[in-house]
Chains A and B, each alone.
Chain A
């Protein structure tokens, strides 16, 4: 019997070696990375970071850039939190002032050491002025409407958020979800200020009832800005693209989006206008940050590069956002500047207030909507 057992063990071992080999092949993989300096950037699809621009940086510094493209600012934050302690990521680009405080609270960022920065405007430094994040672009989030239809004749131009809960607007408003989209989140924060500033946030009932009323008025909530603007909004470029529905005549975008439309048309044509309702717009700043555990020196070089006059002044054209450098404005070409407004009275929420309350406010929003 012993002999037989030994033999069969042998046979099985032979079989398992084959399996083992396959496994080894699969597990050993191919991880032999070159040791030249690499800058790992977690970001979402920011058009400001064009290919030419990255190549230029690589040529100047000899550092190779590797980009991890995530869905949006929220995913960038998720990613940073999820990978805390890996020391794999050097730089985060695209956290905005609605996410930055959470990122700081979660301890995923570290002080940057960039020194040679252009002169950043005080406006851009308004929400946050510290070493953990440097602004690189900005803009105001506000309502945009289709001025072909919302012309005071066919449909009246809203002057208060409550107007949107009227029958006239049933099913004609599209808003990206604050749970999954940063413009959506910015707009929800604006509404929070809009409805609660008088009571110092102690009474959120107006906020809740407005959102409930919007829900009852069949507001369309999309997961991201793109769906809202391209598919549902009738006033934007969406109508030339696939999947266009165009059932909504008001959406959340940027106050300068009509300017982008005009500029993009090449001939100063847009049928989209920004709606400047006091307190209903939100000043959004996007940041570039060194990530805890990453290569601070290399990331400082990239921060300096992104904040250089040469690169940052191109933000309006490359990224369709304002440059943060003093003295830069949108170009006047094709009505870009002309159709872009700066809201008279944007909402006023401090970043720390946002950080402390964002989760509970999102919960309030959530319960108002279900």
Chain B
């Protein structure tokens, strides 16, 4: 259960002001809005990569507003998969957890990829590895920052449904931000249009 109250962030102009977001256990929420409206910043604030100007975040009954990123228990998938070039697929997974690599890879449909070099992965495979790695860390909430936007249409549709299934199976509450309404509709249980709230 994630509660975000009165979140505000200004960066040259106001990105969001007095914004409330609630996330039920297991719920998948999509936040949509045009590029540059502050969706990414919102996610970065929730997971702690950026500081809020003001606001209050509570996760499972505990205030996390001032906790450091790595102590919040929030996972995040970035727009482009961030895979460490000096490590293999398995080495990348090991950053999250020492074991259960093959199960995690099987879950995302990449069984047997352990020893692959990350340079040899396609965009979709890369996102799947990033997802497997994020889930291995057992996040209490998973944030997804337009992870499907860099992929071509067919591939992204497949990935969207795969990820949704997986998140539902694990009952992992998630927030997806995207500018693509169709993507949001396919992926989420509920949609917030951030641009409407602002205005």
Contacts and interface: CB of A to CB of B under 8 A. Distances in A.
Interface residues of B, number: 3
Tell me if A's interface is mostly helix, strand, loop or mixed: helix
Contacts of B67: 3-4
B111 interface: no
A1 interface: yes
Contacts, number: 7
Contacts of A3: 66-67
A327 to B, nearest CB: 81
A7 interface: yes
Contacts of B68: 4, 7
A163 B68 CA distance: 89
A202 B66 CA distance: 88
Interface residues of A, number: 4
Interface in A1-39: 1, 3-4, 7
B97 to A, nearest CB: 23
Contacts of B66: 1, 3-4
A8 to B, nearest CB: 8
Interface in A144-196: none
Interface string B59-100: 000000011100000000000000000000000000000000
A334 B45 CA distance: 95
A3 B67 CA distance: 8
B69 to A, nearest CB: 11
A104 B67 CA distance: 72
A159 B66 CA distance: 96
A199 B68 CA distance: 90
A169 to B, nearest CB: 73
Nearest to B66: A4
Nearest to A7: B68
A310 B66 CA distance: 86
Contacts of A1: 66
Nearest to A2: B66
B58 to A, nearest CB: 16
Nearest to A5: B66
B60 to A, nearest CB: 18
Closest 4 pairs (CB-CB, A-B): A4-B66, A3-B66, A1-B66, A7-B68
Interface of B: 66-68
7 contacts: A1-B66, A3-B66, A3-B67, A4-B66, A4-B67, A4-B68, A7-B68
